[in-house]
Amino acid sequence: MFLLRLIRAVIRALFANRADLVAENLALRQQLNVLRRNVRRPRLRLEDRVFWLWLARGWSKWRDSLIIVKPETVVRWHRQGFKYYWTWKSRPKGGRPAVPREVRDLIRKMSKANPLWGAPRIHGELQKLGIEMAQATVAKYMVRHRRPPSQSWRAFLNNHVKDLVGS
């Protein structure tokens, strides 16, 4: 078994290009360093994982020289790192304070009960109650009332054809 591996490695070394050999040598040396640690069952540290992620992105044949870890594990590390990155990237960074739920419900209730009131009127009523916020914020949380659909161009032209054509 060992002899077959050795022959395969020699043949592969003869036909591989220099960059692949350097990458494979680097991968094997890194695994040897992990195995040389004076522990009973060596564990991969964060820097070891980062090394394999980096190598997997830059070298297409990284799976062939991976011995101490399954390739699926490296792929899982990559996905996990990607998830951590986007969790960090999409974290809340502050900004304006949120409008309390009760105030949003009050704005919706007022706009439903009074469909003719616009944002300026509701904004004024909220100010009378001691609730300070911008008029644009009030408009954002108002209920949108459905309006009857307007006539189409064809209906418009049919209705006004007499007025449009010169008499």
Taking only the tens place, the pLDDT of each residue in 95-144 is 878 899 999 999 999 999 998 899 999 999 999 999 999 999 999 999 98
Residue 58 forms part of a structural domain? yes
Task: State in Å, rounded, how far the first CA of the chain is from the last one.
Answer: 103
Q: Do 83 and 108 belong together in one domain?
A: no
**What local confidence, expressed as pLDDT, does residue 134 receive?**
93
Residue 38 forms part of a structural domain? yes
**SS3 assignment for the chain:** CHHHHHHHHHHHHHHCCHHHHHHHHHHHHHHHHHHHCCCCCCCCCHHHHHHHHHHHHHCCCCCCCCCCCCHHHHHHHHHHHHHHHHHHHCCCCCCCCCCCHHHHHHHHHHHHHCCCCCHHHHHHHHHHCCCCCCHHHHHHHCCCCCCCCCCCHHHHHHHHHHHHCCC
Residue 167 forms part of a structural domain? no
What percentage of the chain carries pLDDT values higher than 70? 75
Residue 74 forms part of a structural domain? yes
Residue 65 forms part of a structural domain? yes
Q: Is the pLDDT of residue 46 over 60?
A: yes
User: What Å distances lie between residue 18 and 28, 39, 62, 68, 157, CA to CA?
Assistant: 15, 34, 15, 24, 76
**What local confidence, expressed as pLDDT, does residue 159 receive?**
85
Residue 55 forms part of a structural domain? yes
**What local confidence, expressed as pLDDT, does residue 10 receive?**
65
Q: Do 8 and 78 belong together in one domain?
A: yes
Q: Do 71 and 33 belong together in one domain?
A: yes
> In this structure, what token pair is assigned to residue 87?
């969790």
Cα angle value 133/134/135 (rounded, 5°): 120
Distance in angstroms (rounded) separating the CA atoms of residues 123 and 130: 11
Q: Is the pLDDT of residue 156 over 80?
A: yes
Domain that holds residue 39: 2-89
pLDDT higher at 95 or 67: 95
Q: Is the pLDDT of residue 14 over 80?
A: no
Residue 159 forms part of a structural domain? no
pTM (global) more than 0.95: no
**69-88 pLDDT per residue, tens:** 777 777 787 888 889 899 99
Average pLDDT of the chain to the nearest whole number: 80
Total domains, the chain = 2
Q: Is the pLDDT of residue 4 over 80?
A: no
Residue 165 forms part of a structural domain? no
Q: Do 65 and 10 belong together in one domain?
A: yes
Q: Is the pLDDT of residue 167 over 80?
A: no
Q: Do 57 and 107 belong together in one domain?
A: no
Q: Do 111 and 39 belong together in one domain?
A: no
Distance in angstroms (rounded) separating the CA atoms of residues 83 and 52: 17
